[in-house]
Chains A and B, each alone.
Chain A
Amino acid sequence: MSSYTLDARNMLCPLPVIKTQDKTAELKRGDTLAVVCTDPGALNDIPAWCKINGHQVLDTRETGDEVIITLLVS
């Protein structure tokens, strides 16, 4: 199990979701992925994407202008 970070800053939705989708497809079950975004829409969209695709959101954080969503590949 490994941890990865995806830089999706300055991208507007749905690009952060597409990048998350593509990155997750490369990972193994149990890996974690922290997605760093500047589009606040990602706070809704990435958890929604996780929900319909069976992945688990471990944490969502807002730091200044960035939002970080950490998911567990399931």
Chain B
Amino acid sequence: MTSPRKAVALISGGLDSLLAARLMLEQGIHVEGINFYTGFCVEGHTHAIRKKDKKKPKRNNALWSAEQLGIKLHIVDIIEEYKDIVINPRHGYGANLNPCLDCKIFMVSKARQWMEDNGFDFIISGEVIGQRPMSQRKYLLPVVMRESGADDRLLRPLCAKNLAPTLPEREGWVDRDRLLDFHGRNRKPQMALAKQFGFEDFASPSGGCCFLTDASYAKKLADLWQARHEKKYELDDIMLLKVGRHIRPKPNYKLIVSREEGENKYLSGYRKNFTHIETTSCGGPLTLIDGVATEEDIETASRIVARFSQGKNEDSVTVKITHINGDEKTVNVLPMPPSEIKQEWYV
């Protein structure tokens, strides 16, 4: 008896990758999942931080998919390597700062490497021709195969019948007749297949899974690069872009103002790395100052913090300023009137 052929499935946590892997399991292929963590993955981070969202169910959708499929999942941290994809995408950005085509090429390339290192035979992806505007156009699918080095070891079970036969099909490892011919943005075929397989409660089928596709987030990242005069980031930078109000009164500094208790707690984990401001005469937000702020800037920042505190209508609010070197200073400030907080300061 021969061992089953082995495929590594790119599992994003969405419906398409779940269905693609399931189709391969149906054909007796040994499937293991791989999921890449870039730092920009949505995965309920906002829910995890914000107290008001605490009751919403939280789960990693890729793990959930693997659990439904009964397969192993390998989650790979690609944070460092991924920076170059975000900063210098060869194929450019989509509507925001999403380098979708470069991202897909990179992830398939990493999966190919994993396949070779672990003695697997081919790669499965849940792509569907024409479903996404940037990375899933028909003429771009061969680009992913070529530039990732996966070539014809990359099989897209959901739309394989619309594409040339791949190695697993030609070699008879999988039966091409049992693959599908999905195309376009219509999700009904996927929904019907999910029902057929008994999958319920899967992640939003058309929802993005990456913060870089989000206009508001992309604006914050672009602001960060502009303020620092270089396109670079660390993991903490991109995590903090998910939290709080970001207010930039001057190019040399910005405030990250927590919006509620959960964000206060999350930002408190960063206090040692930033000059920060807390109100002491009343409840108020923990605020981090990112950048190099002068004494005058810190006074402005303190007045803004007071505006977002429970003492916003008082004549004076006491704030404690803790510098990054640990020096503390307590001052009384007049909360800044809303009319003085310029709309363009909000990032």
Q: A interface vs B, CB < 8 Å? A: 9-10, 12-15, 17-18, 21, 38-41, 43-45, 48-49, 51-53, 65
Contact = CB atoms under 8 A, between A and B. Distances in A.
B63 A45 contact: yes
Contact of B59 (A18, A48, A51, A52): A48
Contact of A48 (B67, B71, B74, B269): B67
Contacts of B27: none
A34 B265 CA distance: 22
A44 to B, nearest CB: 4
A41 B58 contact: yes
A41 B59 contact: yes
Closest 10 CB pairs of A and B: A41-B58, A10-B269, A48-B63, A44-B59, A45-B60, A39-B48, A12-B45, A52-B66, A14-B60, A41-B48
Nearest to B58: A41
Chain B interface residue bracket vs A: 20 to 34
Contacts of A65: 265
A14 B48 contact: no
B62 interface: yes
B45 A14 contact: no
Contacts of B265: 38, 65
Contact of A52 (B45, B58, B72, B77): B72
B219 interface: no
A13 B54 contact: no
Interface stretch (B36-44, B122-130, B318-326, B334-342): B36-44
11 contacts: A13-B48, A13-B58, A14-B35, A17-B60, A38-B265, A38-B269, A41-B58, A41-B60, A45-B59, A45-B60, A49-B75
> Most chain-B Cβ atoms within 10 A of its Cβ — which of A18, A45, A51, A65?
A45
A12 B73 CA distance: 18
B288 interface: no
A29 B77 CA distance: 24
Q: Chain B contact residues: over half helix, strand or loop, or mixed?
A: mixed
Nearest to A10: B269
A40 to B, nearest CB: 6
B201 to A, nearest CB: 13
Given A10-B269, A39-B58, 16 more contacts: A9-B269, A12-B48, A13-B58, A14-B35, A40-B58, A41-B43, A41-B44, A41-B48, A44-B58, A44-B59, A48-B63, A48-B64, A48-B67, A52-B63, A52-B66, A65-B265
A18 B60 CA distance: 12
Contacts, number: 75
Contacts of A12: 43, 45, 48-49, 239
A14 B7 CA distance: 23
B199 interface: no
A14 B71 contact: no
B266 interface: yes
Contact of A18 (B47, B57, B70, B77): B77
A52 B239 contact: no
Contacts of B63: 14, 17, 45, 48-49, 52
Nearest to B54: A40
Nearest to A51: B67
A31 to B, nearest CB: 20
A38 B63 CA distance: 19
Nearest to B268: A10
B170 to A, nearest CB: 31
Given A10-B266, A13-B60, A41-B58, A52 B71 contact: yes
